[in-house]
A and B are shown apart, each in its own frame.
Chain A
Amino acid sequence: MTNNPGPSGSMASNSGPTSPGDPGLSTSLLSLRGISKNFGAVQAVENINLDIPPGQVTALMGDNGAGKSVLIKTISGIWAPSSGQMFWKGQEVHIHTPRDSEHLGIATVYQDLALCDNLDIVQNMFLGHEKTKVGLLDEIKMELTTKQTLADLSVSTVKSVRQLVGSLSGGQRQAIAVARAVMRDSQLVIMDEPTAALGVSQTAQVLSLIKRLAERGIAVLVISHNLNDVFQVADRAAVMYLGSLVSSGPISNYDTSSAVELITTGESSRVPPTVVAS
């Protein structure tokens, strides 16, 4: 996090605020143009241009402090951007609160998952969106919908949907958080380090869950440190370095070593600097 845009500064600046006929806007679900966020004098992210297409998994990579978390929190409305524009299906939108992003169809699955351990799976799935009948909670409807959603996503490892979430494993919790997003008809699911704390088989379960989301036409933006995971599920990659987006494009443009180079130095001799809006 620095005022210095770094070695990538020249690349990022070649697409300022959008111009009419910007091709990225028509094909993307969400497009960021020149998004910056600063906290006082600290520039956390600067001039980000990124297109997120529907039905694809976009991996957002970067070292600690590269600004990944700030960027997704800006998209999900935790913090309003200091400057820049956001386009949802080609229309400019202003996201100021988590509710704003949720209304658009953006769901964020945070690292700490934002689940209530003292509530059961059904209660967590519908938290803040309970179904009611004559003013009282309609538990049967909520339980049926929960079971259906988990079945659709082939989440079969939970014994009972009336289990407390506090008793679930890391992978199961991740699955519940994702299922909650899917159940609310989210079109973009943002996941922050979904496999960070998971074992091998649970990681595999979560990765296949991510693929299933994309197959359903949902756009997925995954933050990950784990390059194995990224190359396994991602269709596109975006790399951040010191608050700037230094590279983005189809995953086939990258391999492990070029990705590592971009993450650690902000540039790579072998990857053409693809900037989305250009």
Chain B
Amino acid sequence: MSSAVSPTLAPPERWWRSRTVRRFCRHRLAMFGVAMIVLLTLACVFGPYLLPYDELFIDLRARFAPPLTGWHFFGTDPLGRDLAARLFNAGRISLLVGFFAMLMSTMIGTFIGVLAGYYGGKIGAVLMRITDAFLSFPSIFLLLALAAFIKPSPFTITAIIAVTSWMEVARIVSAEVRSLRERDFIQAARMLGLSNRWIMFRELLPNAIGPIIVAATLTVARAILLEAYVSFLGYGIQPPLPSWGNMLNGAQQYLGSAPWLAIVPGVAITLAVTSFNFIGDGLRDALDARSDLS
């Protein structure tokens, strides 16, 4: 119908040629981040099949082999297990935990933020005070207290990280929704008699999606860091299941004799977290319409 009525209308812009995408692609650090994440993901998904060693194969004759001994690219650990194989398998767990923790915490934060921002008043005040209260705990204390008492598994760790890191998103979303609430298109939607739920999740949410995406990207970085902390301290992912954090767990005592045990997983964590931070920064610049002016 649209083509018949208004034949002069410009064809819809393809999303991959939009200004936002072009701006993002010009952001060098963000592109570096994307490339690193793709590489890391590919390595973690396919790496274990390409390596000659199984991540659980114990070879006591090859204990503490330094990197580049034979086929042990990153060396071996105190039990003679291949560090490269463990690193890639651990990456699967750590990246998955980071991703799903982001998904859960973004959903919690968005839900609370939209409710608080849309209803405002008493409901908004109560919800935002709860958010403030959660923010008053040093997050690592709360996280550890929960992790220490709940039986650890990849799922519970993910859930615990999500429960302790949704507050930023909630604040951002509620501020965004509050500024959008009085706009004309929302007034129009109200006059059309649309339900509150429809207005919140079909009208307001899509318009606040930019800051949510940025916050979500940065949350992945934070979640990977948090998982590493908790697992390093022994309350996170439990061996024999490897994660980047618990690979560092035993590394401190061998720091003098086998420093690669600490360096290899640490570099992997830093690379992944830096990449997600770069991507988040690039997205923020790309989604901010004002950034063209400066």
Real complex partners, A and B?
Answer: no
By a beta-carbon cutoff of 8 Å, the part of chain A in contact with chain B is none
